[in-house]
Amino acid sequence: MRFLLVEDHEDLGRSVQERLRLEGHAVDLAPTLAEAQEFQAAASYDLILLDIMLPDGDGRQFLASQRSAGNQTPVIVMTARAAVSDRVGTLDMGADDYITKPFDYAELEARCRAILRRRGGVADSRHRHADIVFDPLGGTIDVNGEVRELRSRELRLLEVFLGAPGRILSKEHLCDRLFSFSEPVTDNAIEVYVGRLRKKLTGSRLRIDTMRGLGYRLTET
């Protein structure tokens, strides 16, 4: 998944970014609303983590503008304001969740997972695709009764393919879903992760075809 983190406190922003990257997410960090808008113009996001008090404005105005423009990307507001009226007002403006600073990183990660599950309308995290059972929260796939663990980016890559079965996905698109703008990406990075994922899918009916000059496609045999 790709997240947009809007936070002006450098240490907190970097810490949250690194924690979420360890979960396999691509995270772009914007310390101002202006930079957040620039990121949004260049990429699409699965979740926005939004501070309220920012150097160039109020995050709630950013949230309101998102909703008025019809952007329904889930938003978790992060703020030091703990008053009930602040929480209620922010949720009424269209936030999907609210977490008060200081917070535990594990709680933030759990809230992110819950929001993404609700967005997909899924109560049980496990999904069946062809002859595999994919558990994104557990980080595993079950292939004919054999449970195989997925590394973080293998897991995110499989999510991208399962979200677009049969479609040709370019290397550029896959890079956009797996890496943030600040992460260095080598030319063969996607080839490496596709190769690893293919090995994890060995023995199943799912395969990843290379479409020369175009990208990759998930198919079922």
Helix (H) or strand (E) holding 4: strand 2-6
Q: Among residues 35, 41, 32, 31, which one has the least CA distance to residue 10?
A: 31
What CA–CA distance (Å, rounded) separates 166 from 211? 12
The class that CATH gives domain 2-119 is: alpha beta
Q: What is the pLDDT of residues 171-187, one digit of tens each?
A: 998 988 888 888 888 87
pLDDT digits (tens, 9 = 90+) for 12-64: 999 999 989 888 889 999 999 999 999 999 988 999 999 999 999 999 999 99
Please, where in the chain does CATH 3.40.50.2300 lie? Answer: 2-119
Answering whether pTM is above 0.85, one says no
Q: CA neighbours within 13 Å on the CB side: how many for 52?
A: 18
pLDDT tens string 77-97: 998 876 777 778 888 889 999
Residues 6 or more apart whose CB falls under 8 angstroms from that of 92 comprise none
Fold of 127-220: Arc Repressor Mutant, subunit A (1.10.10)
47-51/75-79 β-pairing: parallel
